Structure 1
Amino acid sequence: MKPSLQSRHCELVKQARQSSSYILNYFVILFLAMTMLSCVSYAQETDAIDAVLEEFQEETEEEVEDTSVRYAPDFCDFEITFPEAPYASRRCPENAKGKCYQLTSYTMVYDLRTSVEISVTCVPSDARKFERYSEKVMRAA
């Protein structure tokens, strides 16, 4: 006995529905599997990056040296610690009659528009200047 055309059509529609759900399920499972694999590979990649970062930080911690330089002449009542060695130059003004002094300078450049410059001299004071700069004058300054 031959199946009727209508029963054959119902059978084909049923198979089509089953196959489309199969295809949909297949793609959903494939998508989930790819997502899980990418998460695992991302986690492994993150672990590798963390390991490299830790190693780099350990190397830089070992390489850091203290390059600071202390400036404190014997005849001065102050001291300065510069981050790096300052530049020292001997200055002899024309009208100073042979009295020269040493100027110590340090410049820190942060970017093209920002810099800090410090110039220091330490010249012993004369007793006559102490009379000129009384406590009242110093407070006013």
Structure 2
Amino acid sequence: MKTKPLMTISSLFLATIGIFISFLPKEIAEYVNIEANNITLLFLKILGALYMGFGILNWMAKGTLIGGIYNRPIVFGNIMHFGVGAVALAKVMNSIQEYTAIIIALTIIYAIFALLFIYLFKINPTQIEK
């Protein structure tokens, strides 16, 4: 499996979400009908920073050997983020009435990334092509 496309696509996905959350926290809060007070906006900005940080981590690791014992913390961090995120989104998907299209799309994307990173975690790094 070529790892560079996976790392590039995941980094762009995470960075895009991070940029939107960081620079449009008030608009996002209003869109999802939550009170846009200072604490809520602060948490959204911190969440955006986390997404951007994880995106840049994946971007910077895209050219390195990944899989097996190589860059295991990066792969496992992605598994945790996308795996736990997919499960959380799937749980909410059944009980939410609004924004179902967004939740379903995010659930599918998160599940795909989780499965790809799990596969990457299990393969032999000598079989990996950058």
- Give me the TM-score of the superposition, normalised by structure 2: 0.22
Larger strand percent: 1
- Pair member with larger Rg: 1
- Give me the TM-score of the superposition, normalised by structure 1: 0.21
Which one scores higher on RCO, CA 8 angstroms, separation ≥ 6? 2
Larger helix percent: 2
